Amino acid sequence: MIRLVKFNKLKDKDLDKIIDKHYTHWKQYNNKLDLNEIVNSFKNIYNNESILPIGYACFDDDKLVGFCTLRKDNLKKYQDIFPWICSVMIFDEERHKGYGTKMIELVCNEAKKLGYNKVYLWTDKAPDFYKK
């Protein structure tokens, strides 16, 4: 069963894996990426229960397969619209199994529970996937 778990409910090893995957992936595109800032964001800032920003881990039964965040801000140009689904990642070895689609669906449901009828997402990496 595919399910979401908020970052504040994760075991340390799972959150550490998320941090490592995020940092390793994005470091190749941004040499100035600071590991300490990533750790702080994922362990403190995204650790909310019911207010934005919130981090979500995606599991298939007990297997961690990916993660994303739901944030109030993402693009400086569009500060008047929110929430944004950000930092979407399905681990390489778990791609093309439907996890990304299901995770986005579940995060949209979480946004509805928080009172948001619409969510936003910006990407330059996989626009065709997100159009669906």
Whether the per-residue pLDDT at 118 is higher than 70: the answer is yes
- Predicted confidence at residue 120, as pLDDT, reads 87
DSSP state letters, the chain:
-EEEEEGGGS-HHHHHHHHHHHHHHHHTT-TT--HHHHHHIIIIITB-SSSSSEEEEEEETTEEEEEEEEES---GGGTTS--EEEEEEE-GGGTTSSHHHHHHHHHHHHHHHTT-S--B---SS-HHHHH-
Give the C-alpha separation, 58 to 81, whole Å: 25
- Predicted confidence at residue 121, as pLDDT, reads 81
With contact defined as beta carbons under 8 Å apart, do 52 and 72 qualify?
Answer: yes
Tokens of residue 22, six digits = 């995020």
Average pLDDT over residues 88-116: 95
Q: pTM score, two decimals?
A: 0.90
Average pLDDT over residues 88-107: 95
| Tens-digit pLDDT profile for residues 81-97 | 899 999 999 999 999 99
Tokens of residue 57, six digits = 């881990």
Domains in the chain, start-ordered, CATH in brackets? 2-131 (3.40.630.30)
- Predicted confidence at residue 122, as pLDDT, reads 77
| Tens-digit pLDDT profile for residues 11-63 | 999 999 999 999 999 999 999 999 999 999 999 999 988 899 999 999 999 99
